[in-house]
Amino acid sequence: MPVDYLAKRFGVFLLIVWIAATLNFFLPRLSGQDPVRVKLLQQAQLGGYVQAGIDAMVKEYDRRFGLDQPLWVQYLAYLHDAARLDFNYSIANYPRTVNEIIAEAIPWTIGLLGATTLLSFGIGTFLGALLAWPRAPRWIRFLLPPLWALHAIPFFLFGLILMYLLAFRITVLPMFGGYSAGAFPALTLDFAADVLKHSILPAMSIVLVATGGWALTMRGMMVTTQGEDFVTFAEAKGLKSLTIFLHYCARNAILPQTTGLALALGQILSGAVLVEVIFAYPGIGTVLYHAIRENDHFLIQGIVFTVIVALGLATLILDAIYPLLDPRISYRKA
């Protein structure tokens, strides 16, 4: 792999991260709200406290968070902290740091969305290849209408349907949460089984909807690939049907799917925010939802910046390895 090619792509990656990080800093501040004052007023109202002295408290917290500095000073401090992956304290959950909250939520999101993304990709790609293959069993064709229908339904809406059927009407699965109320996280089989049981509903809503999308795109690519000259040549040579299917059609048709998978994995942290919110799943989507509601600037910045870096890295790695996956693309031409 040429060094200048990799250096150019890394420079583009840094530029994208800087632009996105800059927007990430200014967008939460466009609301014009003072997050510290709003949070203190909410606590005072909930506790029935007298709001006397709140100005002094706001002034003290602004000093601690650096919000009393000019905006350009805050921006430079933000860039400096972001470069060190340090996102300050959470305003709504002080004295917990943003890194602590993200580190606590990320395993839940990666476990749920990582597994469901890979599972839906594998099932959908396999079904899509068979749907376009003329020699596939006839019953495979009956799967196309359900896949079309499932793909047209949003994740969160299908999640609500599953919740009504399996958690409200039949009550075979839990409706909310990552584990049962009162349980304590531990490395035990009982706790793992409890977590698995709570993840079935959100996982089903993602897998069933996403499988349709993967299957339809793979089917389209397979139809295109089967019309290529090299497939006709392979058939004229009298190669086995399975060899043509696997080595000539599916192998070439899966390249765009690989691009989609890399981008989908990069978007895992933000891909199904509404699903996590609906099922009260303790992942990064739920944390981001509450951070936006509470106008927690630092927590929003930390989560969005993590998503930006993850997506940028996925694109960078894809850019670097794509010529290795597809010989038609060379590093010199790219």
CA 163 to chain centre: 22
* pLDDT on residue 280: 85
* pLDDT on residue 63: 79
Let me know: does 114 contact 265? Beta carbons within 8 Å.
Answer: yes
* pLDDT on residue 270: 59
Which tokens is 32 given? 């014009």
Q: Give the C-alpha separation, 39 to 93, whole Å.
A: 10
* pLDDT on residue 35: 74
Alpha helices in the chain (DSSP H): 3-26, 35-47, 54-65, 71-83, 98-109, 115-132, 144-151, 155-162, 189-226, 229-236, 241-243, 251-266, 268-271, 273-278, 284-293, 297-325
Let me know: does 51 contact 39? Beta carbons within 8 Å.
Answer: no
* pLDDT on residue 48: 60
Q: Which residues of the chain have pLDDT under 70?
A: 1, 31-32, 43-52, 263, 265-272, 325-334
Let me know: does 245 contact 133? Beta carbons within 8 Å.
Answer: yes
Q: Which of 112, 126, 124 is nearest to 148 (CA)?
A: 124
Q: Give the C-alpha separation, 14 to 316, whole Å.
A: 10
* pLDDT on residue 334: 45
* pLDDT on residue 244: 85
Q: Which of 320, 330, 324 is nearest to 3 (CA)?
A: 320
pLDDT tens digits for range 223-274: 888 888 888 888 888 888 888 888 888 878 877 777 777 767 666 665 567 7
* pLDDT on residue 71: 84
Q: Give the C-alpha separation, 47 to 315, whole Å.
A: 48
* pLDDT on residue 159: 84
Q: Give the C-alpha separation, 126 to 257, whole Å.
A: 11
Question: Which neighbouring-strand residues pair with 89?
Answer: 97
* pLDDT on residue 45: 67
